[in-house]
């Protein structure tokens, strides 16, 4: 992508509304497949051709072809899970994709390895049936929740302001509640047999999703949601408060005046003799959202940010100004990383830089203090 589209090609691809809509549709298709609406099957002639070839081949080649035949045969069951991991690769997150595929391969092959070592275990294996269908349906609801994240990306890039933080949380909360209701047996899907018993595992799983629902409800009250905040729209997105029910929670760093032009920020900095805190961010950047939701609101960080002229530049949007912001970051700082923070003096000199996400508040506070010391 860098060779074809230049530096920042992966960022633009990850933020592309068309790519995000495509990914959301893929998740929805996978969810419908897991719900039993249809099955994703490979053409039978492909399976037959590979099976015949594996029978003809011997040695290692035959074993590999037999493994390929088994993988293709199980395509209907595995594609929703593998496809979910592949989506991360399309978003440019290669490390997690590689880790996901490795874990999937290990889990997928582990039962066969154990059965080969301990053949007697074969007699005690549970039969496929209702429990497997429950797992698939539960995964289907999780796929729908994932789809909403990518729909939200499109909303953020185009600034439609429809999927605000409260709306997004409400949708996830509803999905968690529906999943709990399904696991408790309060309703069933059309293809499921009536009279299915609710086992202990389903009850505990339902309790987990009810706990998730309660946690998300706190988000509707305005309380921070920790790691989940990275996947949610900004608190002040759409011109609404983070709370729709009157709760307070911890305030976000939204009360400060953020400028969207570096030239304007530099003019204000020279007039007021204050340094610039420059925030390179992205509409679809989860690490950026985490910093904005969990690091910026800290009281000590808030106090220090109040001493800067705040400038926030988005680099992953569809407009020309976003391309100029990306070019500025690349030319001035030699990177296109998001998030990326820099402190600039009123004389347009770089005083300090801080790349990426950190959960160490002391390190970020030291960065801010270092920038302030450079102007005294």
- Considering Cα of 52, then 55, then 58, then 59, what sign does the dihedral take? positive
Give the global pTM.
Answer: 0.74
Give, to the nearest 10 degrees, the angle between helix 17-34 and helix 130-158. 160
pLDDT at 65: 45
CB count within 10 Å of CB 244 equals 17
When mean pLDDT is compared across 30-44, 202-216, 274-288, 325-339, the lowest value belongs to 30-44
User: 253: pLDDT confidence band, cut at 50, 70 and 90?
Assistant: very low
Which residues are CB-neighbours of 58 under 8 A, at least 6 positions away? none
Does the structural domain 258-373 have CATH classification 3.90.209.20?
A: no
- Neighbour-count burial of 48, counting CB atoms closer than 10 A to its CB (0-12 exposed, 13-18 middle, 19+ buried): exposed
CA atoms of 365 and 352, how far apart (whole Å): 12
Tell me the two tokens of residue 62.
């035959």
| pLDDT of 74 higher than 60 | no
CA atoms of 296 and 223, how far apart (whole Å): 15
Domain ranges of the chain: 1-137, 161-250, 258-373
Say whether 52 sits in a helix, a strand or coil. helix
User: 258: pLDDT confidence band, cut at 50, 70 and 90?
Assistant: very high
The edge-to-edge listing of strands for the beta sheet with 309-314 is 258-259, 309-314, 276-281, 340-344, 350-355
In contact, 295 and 251? CB cutoff 8 Å: no
The rounded mean pLDDT for the chain is: 79
User: 130: pLDDT confidence band, cut at 50, 70 and 90?
Assistant: confident
pLDDT digits (tens, 9 = 90+) for 362-372: 999 999 999 99
| pLDDT of 40 higher than 90 | no
pLDDT at 284: 87
- Considering Cα of 153, then 155, then 159, then 163, what sign does the dihedral take? negative
- DSSP bridge partners of 124: none
pLDDT at 188: 84
CA atoms of 1 and 325, how far apart (whole Å): 20
CA atoms of 130 and 150, how far apart (whole Å): 31
pLDDT digits (tens, 9 = 90+) for 306-360: 999 999 999 988 889 999 999 999 899 988 888 999 999 999 999 999 998 899 9
| pLDDT of 240 higher than 70 | no
């Amino acid at each position: 992508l860098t060779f074809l589209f230049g530096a920042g090609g992966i960022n633009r691809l990850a933020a592309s509304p068309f790519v995000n809509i495509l990914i959301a549709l893929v998740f929805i298709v996978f969810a419908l497949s897991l719900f039993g609406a249809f099955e994703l099957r490979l053409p039978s002639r492909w399976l037959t051709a590979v099976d015949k070839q594996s029978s003809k081949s011997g040695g290692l080649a035959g074993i590999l072809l037999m493994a390929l035949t088994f993988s293709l045969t199980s395509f209907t069951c595995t594609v929703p899970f593998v496809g979910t991991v592949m989506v991360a690769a399309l978003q440019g997150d290669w490390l997690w994709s590689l880790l996901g595929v490795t874990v999937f391969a290990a889990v997928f092959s582990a039962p066969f390895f154990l059965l080969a070592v301990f053949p007697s275990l074969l007699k005690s294996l549970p039969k496929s049936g209702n429990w497997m269908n429950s797992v698939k349906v539960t995964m289907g609801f999780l796929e729908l929740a994932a789809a909403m994240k990518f729909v939200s990306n499109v909303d953020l890039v185009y600034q439609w302001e429809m999927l605000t933080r409260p709306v997004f949380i409400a949708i996830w909360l509803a999905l968690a509640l529906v999943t709990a209701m399904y696991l408790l047996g309060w309703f069933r899907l059309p293809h499921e047999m009536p009279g299915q018993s609710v086992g202990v595992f389903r009850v505990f799983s339902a309790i987990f999703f009810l706990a998730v629902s309660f946690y998300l409800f706190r988000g509707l009250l305005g309380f921070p949601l920790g790691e989940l905040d990275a996947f949610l729209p900004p608190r002040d997105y759409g011109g609404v408060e983070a709370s729709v029910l009157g709760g307070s929670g911890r305030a976000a760093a939204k009360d400060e005046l953020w400028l969207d032009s570096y030239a304007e920020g530099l003019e204000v900095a020279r007039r007021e003799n204050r340094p610039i805190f420059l925030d390179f961010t992205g509409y679809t950047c989860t690490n950026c959202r985490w910093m904005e939701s969990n690091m910026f609101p800290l009281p000590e960080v808030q106090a220090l940010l109040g001493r800067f002229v705040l400038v926030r530049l988005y680099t992953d949007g569809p407009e020309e100004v976003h391309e100029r912001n990306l070019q500025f970051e690349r030319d001035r700082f030699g990177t296109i990383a998001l998030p990326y923070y820099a402190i600039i003096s009123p004389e347009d000199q770089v005083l300090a830089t801080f790349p990426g996400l950190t959960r160490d508040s002391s390190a970020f506070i030291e960065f801010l203090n270092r920038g302030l010391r450079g102007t005294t």
